[in-house]
Amino acid sequence: MDQGLKRKTLVIGHRNPDTDSICSAVCYAHLKSKVTGEEYIPARAGHVNGETRFVLDYFGVEEPQLEEDVRTQVRDIEIRKTKGVADNISLKRAWNIMQENNVVTIPAVREDGTLEGLITVGDITKTYMNIYDSSILSKANTQYSNIIETLEADLVIGRADAYFSKGKVLIAAANPDLMEFYIEPHDLVILGNRYESQLCAIEMGADCIIVCEGAGVSMTIKKIAQERGCTIIATTYDTYTAARLINQSMPISYFMTREHLITFNSDDYIDEIRDVMASKRHRDFPILDKDGRYLGMISRRNLLGAKGKRVILVDHNEKNQAVAGIENAEILEIIDHHRLGTIQTMSPVFFRNQPLGCTATIIYQMYQEAGVKVEKKIAGLLCSAIVSDTLLFRSPTCTPMDEMAARTLADIAGVDIEKYAMEMFGAGSNLKGKGDEEIFYQDFKRFTSGKIAIGVGQITSLNGEELEGIRPRIQNYMENARQANGLDMVFFMLTNILTESTDLICEGNGALQLASKAFHTETEDGEDEPAGPVVRLPGVVSRKKQLIPELMLAEQE
């Protein structure tokens, strides 16, 4: 099946994605698609910040699709593409479809693709065992075309698209004198080749007569039937067989289940639907898309071989930074430039981790290694990621390789790197109109050291006054953020790119003391800096290389 043979692979960065995370996902997905010919889709695990949106808009690239949870969904597994049918097909035709496709449930689907109802093998067998009403054919509003198809008959007089909607079904076994007592107007009469019986049925007001055993119908009978509006159908079956089969001509709409259907959406997670399926005795369940259109059927058996989403992680390798549900995914590759974290995989993966200032630098190297030409848009995205992560080469994480790659990519993209960087940083540090929560989580990551859980957010700006203006707002918000994330300590870096310095806001029991100890911020008399939520850190601009290692080291001492 297509869905199983051509599985898509998501290329995704960390939660609260930055420019490197987004651009690396886009560019690596593009590279993998070029090299393999398979489908690799860039994705993001969170909202795009102002700086990254500026980059994407500048180079005319769409935002990657949002994937907040990569647990296995119904659309990731093989579903049975049982074709939907119209609700007016006969029971016999429905039965034949079931036999041909080896299924026990058929969906009735409207012209617009939405689900009308379900007919099962059980529903069909009940029509044999439980129906004793001779008027059931008309109550089911059976179309003559269904009767003709079921009895493999020919239409002699009348219209195949008309309906048998009144009266009962009976066999004219008696002589015409007795027939007058039990044939009523609108009945459907099954009979043989006797002219008198055919004439009697028509004169008694029958809506339809079925002539059996291939018997001929005289011109006189045809003419009278035409005048009286009586439909004539001729079949080669005998009267017993015709009577036995005729109920199979009824439309499935009369017997199918329409209400309280248990359906699943293609976006539903299989670990959530498994319990529902186990609690019901149904064999099959319909799958619908987000607009309610029918897609296929699923059974418990389909869940047995369910495989997780195929995922490539970029710019992170720690579980607490990864998209939700990563433990259920099939991780194929990890491309990163951070410390080694806690991601566990079920099988060996391609893992590339280099001590560079940016993941995009690694991906640029991989383009060169694969011999794939770097297009203008791709060059712009990779260059922007490097400029962002290295703060235009000011960060201590920046290496000569990062700067060389960024300048080469800037030439390909046709941008003046210094001028472009100022525009990009300006867009990223434009905090006007943003709420406290949006600012706080714009670039936020979690870390653990021993038993202590720490969160660190960062805002970089060229405007010192802007940073001073948002400081009190962040200070007031941080305790809420600490509790909401279940953290012991929270730190927030207000980083001035021009002065290459950071004001570190500290929140949580022992947070200020830990920061003071890590960076040896003491007063002249040797005592700790007076109690206050901010530690000034000249020369500190990198969370990854300058802040986190020092905090971890101080916490372990």
Break the chain into its structural domains and give their ranges: 2-72+308-428, 75-127+254-304, 141-249, 436-556
CB neighbours of 259 closer than 8 A, spacing ≥ 6? none
* Helices H / strands E in the chain, number of each: 21, 23
CA neighbours closer than 13 Å in the CB half-sphere of residue 485: 29
Residue 191, token pair as written in the block: 């009979």
pLDDT for res 122: 87
Per-residue pLDDT reduced to its tens digit, 247-257: 999 999 999 99
Confidence of residue 382 (pLDDT cuts 50, 70, 90): very high
CA–CA distances in Å: residue 529 to residues 10, 19, 189, 503: 48, 35, 104, 14
> Distance of CA 423 to CAs 55, 245, 463, 511, Å?
10, 79, 13, 35
The answer, yes or no, to whether residue 515 has pLDDT greater than 50, is yes
527 pLDDT band, cuts 50/70/90, is: very low
> Does 3.50.50.60 match the CATH number of domain 436-556?
no
**pLDDT value of position 2:** 41
- pTM, whole model, 2 decimals? 0.67
Amino acid at 153: A
**In sequence order, what are the residues at sequence separation of 6 or more whose Cβ sits closer than 8 angstroms to the Cβ of residue 174?**
none
**Mean pLDDT, the chain, whole residue set:** 90
CA 190 to chain centre: 54
Residue with tokens 């979690």: 446
Max avg pLDDT among 79-88, 121-130, 224-233: 224-233
- pLDDT band, very low/low/confident/very high, at 502 (cuts 50, 70, 90): very high
In the numeric block, which tokens belong to residue 293?
A: 């259109």
CATH architecture assignment, domain 75-127+254-304: Roll (3.10)
Class of domain 141-249 (CATH, top level): alpha beta
Name which of 127-131, 440-444, 509-513 the model is least confident about.
127-131
**Contacts for 305 with CB less than 8 Å, ≥ 6 apart:** 77, 78
pLDDT band at 4 (very low <50, low <70, confident <90, very high): very low
Which of the residue ranges 83-87, 445-449, 529-533 has the most confident prediction, judged by mean pLDDT?
83-87
Q: Are 184 and 205 in contact (CB under 8 A)?
A: yes
**pLDDT: is 191 or 178 the higher one?**
191
b/e sequence 104-130, b meaning 16+ C-beta within 10 Å: bbbbbbeeeeebbbbbbbebbeebeee
CATH number (3.90.1640.10, 3.20.20.140, 3.10.400.10, 3.40.50.1360) of 2-72+308-428 reads 3.90.1640.10
Confidence category of residue 340, pLDDT binned at 50, 70, 90: confident
- For range 132-142, the mean pLDDT: 89
Q: Where are the beta strands (DSSP E) in 420-530?
A: 444-449, 452-461, 489-496, 501-507
Residues 6+ apart with CB under 8 A from 308: 70, 71, 72, 76, 328, 329, 330
Q: 284 to each of 126, 242, 288, 421, 503, how far by Cα in Å?
A: 19, 33, 13, 57, 60
Measured CA to CA, the distance from residue 117 to residue 440 in angstroms comes to: 49
pLDDT at 522: 57
Give the span between the Cα atoms of 388 and 460, in whole angstroms. 10
* DSSP state at residue 219: H
529: confidence class by pLDDT, cuts 50, 70, 90: very low
Let me know if the fold of 2-72+308-428 is the same as that of 436-556: no
Q: What is the pLDDT of residue 131?
A: 65
List strand residue ranges (DSSP E) for 148-284, in order. Answer: 154-157, 163-164, 169-171, 188-191, 208-211, 231-234, 264-265
Answer whether residue 319 shows pLDDT above 80: yes
Rounded-to-integer distance, Cα 503 and Cα 472, Å: 12
Across 91-101, average pLDDT = 93
At residue 539's C-alpha, the angle toward residues 421 and 444, to 5°, is 65
Average confidence (pLDDT) over 295-320: 88
Closest listed residue to residue 418, CA positions, set 397, 401, 398, 403: 403
pLDDT band at 130 (very low <50, low <70, confident <90, very high): low
Angle of helix 376-390 versus helix 400-413 axis, rounded to 10: 140
pLDDT digits (tens, 9 = 90+) for 199-228: 999 999 999 999 999 888 999 999 999 999
Supply the angle between the helices 19-36 and 359-370 in degrees, to the nearest 10.
20
Which pLDDT score, from 0 to 100, does residue 116 have? 92
In terms of phi and psi (left: phi > 0; alpha: psi -120 to 50; beta: otherwise), the region of 92 is alpha
Q: List the beta bridge partners of residue 460.
A: 495
When pLDDT is cut at 50, 70 and 90, the band that residue 134 belongs to is confident
Indicate the pLDDT class of residue 6, thresholds 50, 70 and 90. low
**Picking from 236-240, 463-467, 525-529, 553-557, which range would have the lowest pLDDT averaged per residue?**
525-529
